[in-house]
Amino acid sequence: MKIVVCIKQVPNTDTVKIDPKTNNLVRSNVEGIINSFDRNAIEAALELRQQAGGTITLLSMGPDSYITSLRDGLAMGADSAILLSSRKFGGADTLATAYVLSEAIKKIGDVDLILFGRQSVDADTGQVGPIVAEDLQLPQVTFAESLELQDNNQLTGHRLLDNVVQEVKVKLPAVITVRSEMNSPRYETPLNIQKSFEKEITIWSENELAVDPTQIGQAGSPTVVKRIFSPEKAGRQTQMLPNNAKDAVAQLLADLNN
């Protein structure tokens, strides 16, 4: 089975600062890590490879610093990695991001299964997987919490909708987005980390892909960030409780009981 896992590198912190002048994230000094749900996607791929054989290619679009997380993914046990990197890809919204990923998947060719995390932990849209599925005209199982190989070209997945669990059967090729409930990602072993440095990371820019320049990066992104602001404080009157915990609790309980 030929599996592609799309991974995004995210800052290893929740409180990234925004440059008030440019509206851009200040990314310097913040270490990048694999988006946590994408580790679940890699784990799912490793388990499927164990059952069905095949190869796992990691695919990521981003600046050269994304090599860090691709290297980590290789150390988990993936076979190869491709970084889609170019200034022209910058400033992409979900539509333009998914377009470039889709074109790369076409170039890889004969892919049976494309795995995504359910969403990124920084921008949090969960849109990239479904857009890729549509671009490639493939069936999708989003928010999957289980995945089972039926035979070599069919999977059964379960996904939790608002108050029902859906059982879905898909024939490959297909797109799956993975919830953290599906598995516990394995840790990198020293041997695998060592091996990961022997694996090559391929870099493709727009020159290697058959992309339409009007559909990539900022040019291909219909959404525009208009304004970034701090919301007004919620209007609650805050009453300070005494410094001593015992007195504080006594006062609180007296107040609440009134």
Partner 1 sequence: MNNEIWVFVQLNGQNVEPTSLQLITKARDIAGDRPVVALVAETESMNVEATVKEYGPDKMVILKDDQFHNASDGEIADALDQVVTDLKPNSLLFPATVLGRSVAPRLQAKLKTGLTADCLDIYFDGDDLVQVKPTYGDDIMCEIICPDVRPQMATIRPNTFKAVKAATDTETVNYSFTFHPEANIEVVSETPVINSAANISDAKTVIALGRGANNEKVIAKAEKLAGKLGGMVGVSRPLTDNEGFSHENQIGQSGNTIAPDLLINFGISGAVQYAVGIENAKQIVSINTDAKAPIFDKSDYAFVGDADEFMSALLDQVR
| Cβ neighbours of residue 117 closer than 8 Å, sequence gap 6 or more | 7, 8, 35, 36, 37, 38, 39, 40, 41, 177, 178
Given the rule CB under 6 A, which of 122-130, 141-149, 182-190, 196-204 is the region that contacts ligand FAD? 122-130
H/E stretch holding 41: helix 36-52
Cis peptide before 173 (omega within 30 of 0): yes
Residue 218: left (phi > 0), alpha (psi -120 to 50), or beta? Answer: alpha
Q: Is 120 near ligand FAD (CB under 6 A)? A: yes
Q: Is 115 exposed, middle or buried (0-12, 13-18, 19+ CB in 10 A)?
A: buried
We find the least distance from the C-beta atom of residue 169 to ligand FAD, in angstroms, to be 23
Q: Is 8 near ligand FAD (CB under 6 A)? A: yes
d(CA 231, CA 216): 32
Of the residues 1, 3, 6, 138, which one makes contact with ligand FAD according to CB under 6 A: 6
d(CA 101, CA 108): 10
166 binds, among ligand FAD, partner 1, none (CB under 5 to 8 A by kind): partner 1
Q: Which is nearer to partner 1, 160 or 203 (CB)?
A: 160
147 binds, among partner 1, ligand FAD, none (CB under 5 to 8 A by kind): none
At 60, list the tokens. 């990521």
- Size of residue set near ligand FAD by CB under 6 A: 30
Q: Which is nearer to partner 1, 50 or 248 (CB)?
A: 248
Q: Which is nearer to ligand FAD, 37 or 196 (CB)?
A: 37
Place of tokens 């925004």: 18
Site pattern 27..66 for ligand FAD (x: CB under 6 A): --------x-xx--x-----------------xxxx----
Of the residues 74, 86, 88, 93, which one makes contact with ligand FAD according to CB under 6 A: 93
35 binds, among ligand FAD, partner 1, none (CB under 5 to 8 A by kind): ligand FAD
Q: Is 128 near ligand FAD (CB under 6 A)? A: yes
Report the sign of the C-alpha dihedral through residues 38, 13, 218, 88, in that order. Answer: negative
Interacting residues with ligand FAD (CB under 6 A): 6-8, 14, 35, 37-38, 41, 59-62, 92-94, 97, 101, 116-117, 119-120, 122-129, 223
